[in-house]
Amino acid sequence: MTMPALLLQKPSAKSKSLDHVNCLRRRFALWEKGDILELLKEGKTIQRQLQGSRSRRDEREEARTAHRFSKLMMEGRVRAALRYLSKREHTGLLSLDQIMTEDPTSSSRKTVREILEDKHPDANPANADAILSAPNEELPSNDFHPILFDSITAEDIRTSALHTEGAAGPSGLDAMNWRRLCTAFGQSSNDLCCALATFARRISTTYLDPSGLMAYTACRLIPLDKCPGVRPIGIGEVCRRIIGKVIMKCAKQDLQSAVGSLQLCTGQDAGCEAAVHAMAHIYDEEDTEAMIFVDAANAFNRLNRQVALRNTQAICPALAPILINTYTVRNVG
């Protein structure tokens, strides 16, 4: 998962293409020998040099902000550029050992690590009454056939990559890097797209060994300062988002049929906007005396994932393989 981040760092700010080639060959040799510690040591040294070159941070802050904003705009990442300008100085990443309080009205204080653990509690025990079985008159007919995903091609992967945005997962490759990988290197890019298309067809039709998908399903968990509180942000691999878009394009009708109006983010035209307008309309009615907003703490995380995945086979069989392959609990030790 760390291979790109370890191998693709420039050795110095003034290094040339030939320097990059020689450095990459040497790093590949170290990787094949399994000398990861030497690669980490080299990477840390390079990062220290970069930090030393930014000793005049305060004087250059305005120029750097303008440069970063301009770069994001030139890349077409308008939302990222606006977020960069509007960010607050007191927000940012939190240390896992930092002591803070989640509720300003409470005197209890915990570390950020403990707060994150509280936000990811153990699931509730499985309840046999919650398990659905097909056939059932209230459930969609189980007429799924794997040929549904045979239409996934390299061109679909390439198009999906061009419409994917976001930060990098554990590998360190963000959406812009994946766009270049899928479009900028001729036949090599086409081979990559073909390989991803083959993988997408397989993971959406075949139940795979979970241990072989750990790199694909890995995420970065980032604790952000919510002022007050902690906002956990999970960032998965960009290739997972690219493949997910392609699979959802094929299974869109099946998913819409399965969830109906209960989930408004499944391709329903202006579904979320309609819900907002409906709530605003209810709020303005004369008969409305009050509205109650309920936030059940960690309700989603307490659901039994295995039961939910089992029910997917009855509710939306077209998406059962990809969901089970992606969200099956894996033992890491």
Helix (H) / strand (E) element for 56: namely none
Q: What percent of the chain has a predicted confidence (pLDDT) above 90? A: 20
CA distance 169 to 293: 33
3-state secondary structure of 66: helix
CA distance 300 to 102: 19
What pLDDT does 294 receive?
A: 67
3-state secondary structure of 35: coil
What are the domain boundaries of the chain? 1-55, 56-87, 92-264+320-333
What pLDDT does 103 receive?
A: 66
In this structure, are residues 140 and 146 in contact, taking their beta carbons and an 8 Å threshold? no
For residue range 38-74, list pLDDT tens digits in order: 888 888 888 777 655 555 555 567 777 778 888 888 8
For residue range 213-254, list pLDDT tens digits in order: 988 998 888 888 777 778 888 889 999 999 999 999 888 888
pTM value is 0.70
Cis check for the bond before 135: say yes or no (omega within 30 of 0).
Answer: yes
Pair type for strands 110-111 and 219-225: unpaired
CA distance 309 to 322: 10
What pLDDT does 201 receive?
A: 95
What pLDDT does 81 receive?
A: 79
> Is the pLDDT higher at 89 or at 181?
181
Query: Which pLDDT band holds residue 287 (cuts at 50, 70, 90)?
Result: confident
For residue range 95-106, list pLDDT tens digits in order: 888 887 766 666
CB atoms within 10 A of CB 62: 9
> How confident is the model over 102-116, as a mean pLDDT?
77
What pLDDT does 160 receive?
A: 95
pLDDT of 172 > 90? The answer is no
260 is written with which tokens?
A: 């109906």
What pLDDT does 89 receive?
A: 45
What pLDDT does 88 receive?
A: 45
> How confident is the model over 164-183, as a mean pLDDT?
90
CA distance 10 to 16: 9
> How confident is the model over 293-311, as a mean pLDDT?
74
